[in-house]
Amino acid sequence: MTKTMIVGNWKMNGTQPVARSLAEGLVNNDIIRSAHADGVQVVCCPPFTALSLVQQTIADTPIQLGGQACHHQRQGAHTGDVSAAMLRDVGCSHVLVGHSERRRDHHESDDQVVAISIAAIDAGLVPIICVGETLEEHQQGLTRNVLQRQVGILCSALGNNLSRCVLAYEPVWAIGTGLAATAEHVETTHAYIAEVTRTHGIVIPVLYGGSANASNAEELLSSEHVNGLLVGGASLDAISFAGIVAAARRKGGASS
Ligand code: 13P
Protein backbone atom coordinates (compact mmCIF):
# COMPACT_ATOMS: atom_id res chain seq x y z
CA MET A 1 0.00 0.00 0.00
CA THR A 2 1.38 3.42 -0.95
CA LYS A 3 1.62 5.49 2.18
CA THR A 4 0.36 8.94 2.95
CA MET A 5 3.09 10.79 4.84
CA ILE A 6 2.64 13.40 7.52
CA VAL A 7 5.91 15.10 8.41
CA GLY A 8 6.31 17.55 11.28
CA ASN A 9 9.05 20.14 10.79
CA TRP A 10 9.66 21.64 14.19
CA LYS A 11 12.11 24.16 12.72
CA MET A 12 14.14 26.10 15.35
CA ASN A 13 11.72 25.34 18.17
CA GLY A 14 12.11 23.20 21.23
CA THR A 15 14.58 23.19 24.08
CA GLN A 16 14.99 19.73 25.57
CA PRO A 17 12.04 19.90 28.02
CA VAL A 18 9.74 21.28 25.30
CA ALA A 19 10.88 18.69 22.78
CA ARG A 20 10.47 15.87 25.28
CA SER A 21 6.95 16.89 26.16
CA LEU A 22 5.98 17.28 22.48
CA ALA A 23 7.45 13.87 21.63
CA GLU A 24 5.62 12.32 24.58
CA GLY A 25 2.44 13.98 23.34
CA LEU A 26 2.91 12.28 19.95
CA VAL A 27 3.71 8.89 21.43
CA ASN A 28 0.77 9.00 23.84
CA ASN A 29 -1.71 9.99 21.16
CA ASP A 30 -3.66 6.99 19.84
CA ILE A 31 -4.41 8.61 16.47
CA ILE A 32 -0.71 9.20 15.83
CA ARG A 33 0.65 6.04 17.40
CA SER A 34 -1.61 3.75 15.36
CA ALA A 35 -1.61 5.81 12.12
CA HIS A 36 0.33 3.10 10.28
CA ALA A 37 -2.75 0.86 10.54
CA ASP A 38 -4.32 3.12 7.88
CA GLY A 39 -1.15 3.35 5.78
CA VAL A 40 -0.08 6.70 7.22
CA GLN A 41 3.61 7.24 7.88
CA VAL A 42 4.44 9.85 10.54
CA VAL A 43 7.84 11.52 10.68
CA CYS A 44 8.96 14.25 13.05
CA CYS A 45 11.93 16.52 12.43
CA PRO A 46 13.13 18.18 15.66
CA PRO A 47 16.13 20.50 15.83
CA PHE A 48 19.52 18.75 15.95
CA THR A 49 19.88 19.30 19.71
CA ALA A 50 16.69 17.35 20.42
CA LEU A 51 17.14 14.47 17.96
CA SER A 52 18.62 12.09 20.46
CA LEU A 53 16.03 12.56 23.17
CA VAL A 54 13.15 12.47 20.67
CA GLN A 55 14.60 9.25 19.26
CA GLN A 56 14.58 7.73 22.76
CA THR A 57 10.98 8.83 23.27
CA ILE A 58 9.64 7.49 19.96
CA ALA A 59 11.67 4.26 20.04
CA ASP A 60 9.40 1.20 19.82
CA THR A 61 6.68 3.22 18.05
CA PRO A 62 6.13 3.54 14.27
CA ILE A 63 6.88 7.29 14.46
CA GLN A 64 10.02 8.03 12.48
CA LEU A 65 12.73 10.62 12.95
CA GLY A 66 14.08 13.13 10.44
CA GLY A 67 16.79 15.79 10.43
CA GLN A 68 16.04 19.26 9.13
CA ALA A 69 19.21 19.61 7.04
CA CYS A 70 22.64 18.13 6.51
CA HIS A 71 25.93 18.86 4.74
CA HIS A 72 26.83 17.30 1.41
CA GLN A 73 30.30 16.23 2.60
CA ARG A 74 30.76 13.08 4.65
CA GLN A 75 32.93 14.75 7.31
CA GLY A 76 35.58 17.38 7.82
CA ALA A 77 36.10 21.06 8.45
CA HIS A 78 32.54 22.35 8.25
CA THR A 79 31.91 24.17 11.49
CA GLY A 80 28.32 24.07 12.65
CA ASP A 81 27.21 21.44 10.16
CA VAL A 82 26.17 17.83 10.56
CA SER A 83 26.62 15.04 8.04
CA ALA A 84 23.99 12.63 6.75
CA ALA A 85 25.83 9.80 8.53
CA MET A 86 25.53 11.68 11.83
CA LEU A 87 21.77 11.93 11.34
CA ARG A 88 21.62 8.23 10.55
CA ASP A 89 23.76 7.52 13.60
CA VAL A 90 21.28 9.27 15.89
CA GLY A 91 18.36 7.29 14.46
CA CYS A 92 17.05 9.38 11.57
CA SER A 93 15.42 7.72 8.59
CA HIS A 94 14.68 10.98 6.73
CA VAL A 95 16.16 14.43 6.20
CA LEU A 96 14.65 17.63 4.84
CA VAL A 97 16.68 19.01 1.96
CA GLY A 98 16.53 22.44 0.34
CA HIS A 99 13.82 23.88 2.56
CA SER A 100 13.15 27.45 1.45
CA GLU A 101 14.38 28.67 4.83
CA ARG A 102 17.73 26.91 4.15
CA ARG A 103 17.82 28.36 0.65
CA ARG A 104 17.13 31.81 2.18
CA ASP A 105 19.24 31.69 5.38
CA HIS A 106 22.12 29.52 4.13
CA HIS A 107 22.02 30.28 0.41
CA GLU A 108 21.57 26.62 -0.49
CA SER A 109 21.57 26.46 -4.28
CA ASP A 110 19.86 23.94 -6.57
CA ASP A 111 23.27 22.29 -7.12
CA GLN A 112 23.85 21.99 -3.38
CA VAL A 113 20.38 20.53 -2.96
CA VAL A 114 21.36 17.82 -5.45
CA ALA A 115 24.68 17.17 -3.66
CA ILE A 116 23.00 16.99 -0.25
CA SER A 117 20.35 14.62 -1.60
CA ILE A 118 23.06 12.30 -2.95
CA ALA A 119 24.90 12.40 0.39
CA ALA A 120 21.66 11.59 2.20
CA ILE A 121 20.83 8.64 -0.07
CA ASP A 122 24.40 7.34 0.29
CA ALA A 123 24.00 7.44 4.07
CA GLY A 124 20.75 5.48 3.90
CA LEU A 125 18.40 8.40 4.52
CA VAL A 126 15.31 9.32 2.54
CA PRO A 127 15.66 12.96 1.47
CA ILE A 128 12.47 15.02 1.55
CA ILE A 129 13.40 17.62 -1.05
CA CYS A 130 11.55 20.93 -0.87
CA VAL A 131 10.66 22.99 -3.91
CA GLY A 132 8.37 25.97 -4.45
CA GLU A 133 8.09 29.50 -5.70
CA THR A 134 8.43 32.77 -3.78
CA LEU A 135 5.58 35.27 -3.45
CA GLU A 136 7.15 37.46 -6.14
CA GLU A 137 7.48 34.54 -8.54
CA HIS A 138 3.90 33.51 -7.74
CA GLN A 139 2.60 37.00 -8.44
CA GLN A 140 4.52 37.09 -11.72
CA GLY A 141 2.89 33.82 -12.79
CA LEU A 142 6.24 32.00 -12.71
CA THR A 143 5.23 29.02 -10.56
CA ARG A 144 5.61 26.48 -13.35
CA ASN A 145 8.90 27.98 -14.54
CA VAL A 146 10.37 27.71 -11.04
CA LEU A 147 9.16 24.14 -10.59
CA GLN A 148 10.30 23.14 -14.05
CA ARG A 149 13.78 24.38 -13.08
CA GLN A 150 13.92 23.00 -9.54
CA VAL A 151 12.35 19.62 -10.30
CA GLY A 152 14.01 19.37 -13.72
CA ILE A 153 17.48 19.73 -12.17
CA LEU A 154 16.66 17.05 -9.61
CA CYS A 155 15.43 14.67 -12.32
CA SER A 156 18.45 15.18 -14.56
CA ALA A 157 21.03 15.09 -11.78
CA LEU A 158 19.59 12.31 -9.65
CA GLY A 159 17.95 10.18 -12.34
CA ASN A 160 16.43 7.03 -10.91
CA ASN A 161 17.82 7.88 -7.48
CA LEU A 162 15.08 10.51 -7.29
CA SER A 163 12.58 7.67 -6.88
CA ARG A 164 14.27 7.01 -3.53
CA CYS A 165 13.36 10.52 -2.38
CA VAL A 166 10.18 12.37 -1.51
CA LEU A 167 9.37 15.82 -2.91
CA ALA A 168 7.60 18.53 -0.94
CA TYR A 169 5.90 21.39 -2.77
CA GLU A 170 6.07 24.32 -0.39
CA PRO A 171 5.01 27.62 -1.95
CA VAL A 172 7.11 30.11 0.04
CA TRP A 173 4.18 32.54 0.25
CA ALA A 174 2.12 29.95 2.12
CA ILE A 175 4.76 29.10 4.75
CA GLY A 176 3.98 30.46 8.20
CA THR A 177 1.45 32.93 6.80
CA GLY A 178 -1.73 31.10 7.77
CA LEU A 179 -2.68 31.34 4.08
CA ALA A 180 -2.44 27.84 2.69
CA ALA A 181 -2.62 27.44 -1.06
CA THR A 182 -6.12 26.63 -2.29
CA ALA A 183 -6.95 23.00 -2.96
CA GLU A 184 -7.29 23.96 -6.63
CA HIS A 185 -3.77 25.47 -6.77
CA VAL A 186 -2.38 22.44 -4.96
CA GLU A 187 -4.15 20.04 -7.31
CA THR A 188 -2.95 21.73 -10.51
CA THR A 189 0.57 22.33 -9.23
CA HIS A 190 1.04 18.79 -7.97
CA ALA A 191 -0.31 17.46 -11.25
CA TYR A 192 2.29 19.64 -13.01
CA ILE A 193 5.12 18.32 -10.82
CA ALA A 194 3.99 14.75 -11.57
CA GLU A 195 4.04 15.63 -15.28
CA VAL A 196 7.63 16.96 -15.04
CA THR A 197 8.91 13.89 -13.20
CA ARG A 198 6.99 11.55 -15.52
CA THR A 199 8.76 12.99 -18.57
CA HIS A 200 11.97 11.73 -16.91
CA GLY A 201 10.35 8.36 -16.21
CA ILE A 202 10.28 9.03 -12.48
CA VAL A 203 7.36 8.48 -10.11
CA ILE A 204 7.80 10.08 -6.71
CA PRO A 205 5.53 10.96 -3.79
CA VAL A 206 4.89 14.71 -3.46
CA LEU A 207 3.87 16.30 -0.17
CA TYR A 208 2.30 19.73 0.23
CA GLY A 209 3.57 22.20 2.82
CA GLY A 210 2.51 25.72 3.80
CA SER A 211 0.06 26.59 6.60
CA ALA A 212 -1.39 23.09 6.69
CA ASN A 213 -3.46 22.52 9.81
CA ALA A 214 -6.12 20.26 11.27
CA SER A 215 -8.90 22.29 9.61
CA ASN A 216 -7.58 22.32 6.05
CA ALA A 217 -5.71 19.00 5.99
CA GLU A 218 -8.57 16.96 4.61
CA GLU A 219 -9.13 19.35 1.71
CA LEU A 220 -5.39 19.65 0.96
CA LEU A 221 -5.09 15.87 0.96
CA SER A 222 -8.08 15.38 -1.31
CA SER A 223 -6.06 15.51 -4.53
CA GLU A 224 -4.80 12.17 -5.81
CA HIS A 225 -1.47 13.90 -6.52
CA VAL A 226 -0.97 14.94 -2.88
CA ASN A 227 0.78 12.13 -1.04
CA GLY A 228 0.98 13.81 2.32
CA LEU A 229 1.74 17.04 4.17
CA LEU A 230 4.86 18.76 5.50
CA VAL A 231 3.70 20.67 8.54
CA GLY A 232 5.47 23.49 10.38
CA GLY A 233 3.58 25.46 13.03
CA ALA A 234 0.76 22.95 13.53
CA SER A 235 3.28 20.18 14.26
CA LEU A 236 4.32 21.92 17.48
CA ASP A 237 1.14 20.89 19.25
CA ALA A 238 0.36 17.18 19.56
CA ILE A 239 -3.41 17.70 19.38
CA SER A 240 -3.24 19.84 16.21
CA PHE A 241 -0.80 17.42 14.66
CA ALA A 242 -3.09 14.52 15.55
CA GLY A 243 -5.93 16.32 13.77
CA ILE A 244 -3.81 16.36 10.61
CA VAL A 245 -2.85 12.72 11.02
CA ALA A 246 -6.55 11.88 11.48
CA ALA A 247 -7.33 13.54 8.11
CA ALA A 248 -4.54 11.51 6.52
CA ARG A 249 -5.95 8.34 8.06
CA ARG A 250 -9.29 9.08 6.44
CA LYS A 251 -7.44 9.33 3.13
CA GLY A 252 -5.48 6.25 4.11
CA GLY A 253 -2.84 4.71 1.92
CA ALA A 254 -4.88 5.36 -1.19
CA SER A 255 -2.66 8.09 -2.68
CA SER A 256 -0.91 7.46 -5.98
P1 13P B 1 3.98 26.15 8.28
O2 13P B 1 3.14 24.90 8.36
O3 13P B 1 4.27 26.76 9.62
O4 13P B 1 3.42 27.12 7.28
O5 13P B 1 5.41 25.70 7.72
C6 13P B 1 5.48 24.92 6.59
C7 13P B 1 6.86 24.45 6.42
O8 13P B 1 7.74 25.22 6.11
C9 13P B 1 7.13 23.02 6.68
O10 13P B 1 8.40 22.67 6.26
The CATH architecture of the domain made up of 4-255 is Alpha-Beta Barrel (3.20)
- AA identity, residue 159: G
Q: Is the CB of 230 under 6 A from ligand 1?
A: yes
Report CA dihedral (37, 235, 94, 103) to the nearest 10 degrees.
150
Report the half-sphere exposure of 155 (CA within 13 A, side-chain side): 18
Q: Hey, how many other C-beta atoms are within 10 angstroms of the C-beta on 74?
A: 12
Q: Is the CB of 67 under 6 A from ligand 1?
A: no
84 vs 149, 213, 216, 255, CA distance in Å?
25, 29, 33, 29
Q: What is the pLDDT of residues 224-249, one digit of tens each?
A: 999 999 999 999 999 999 999 999 99
Looking at residues 151-162, what average pLDDT do you find? 97
* Mutate which of 230, 235, 236, 244 for ligand 1 pocket (most atoms within 8 A of beta carbon): 230
Residue 252: pLDDT band with limits 50, 70, 90: confident
Q: What local confidence, expressed as pLDDT, does residue 2 receive?
A: 56
Q: What is the pLDDT of residues 82-94, one digit of tens each?
A: 999 999 999 999 9
Residue 255: pLDDT band with limits 50, 70, 90: very low
Sign for the CA dihedral angle at 62, 102, 219, 177 comes to positive
Q: What is the pLDDT of residues 104-128, one digit of tens each?
A: 999 999 999 999 999 999 999 999 9
H/E stretch holding 119 reads: helix 110-122
Residue 209: pLDDT band with limits 50, 70, 90: very high
DSSP state at residue 2: P
Looking at residues 128-142, what average pLDDT do you find? 97
Instruction: Kindly list the domain boundaries of the chain, sorted by start residue.
Output: 4-255
Identify the residue whose C-alpha is closest to ligand 1 atom 2.
232
Q: What is the pLDDT of residues 26-52, one digit of tens each?
A: 999 999 999 999 999 999 999 999 999
Alpha-carbon span 242 to 248, nearest angstrom: 10
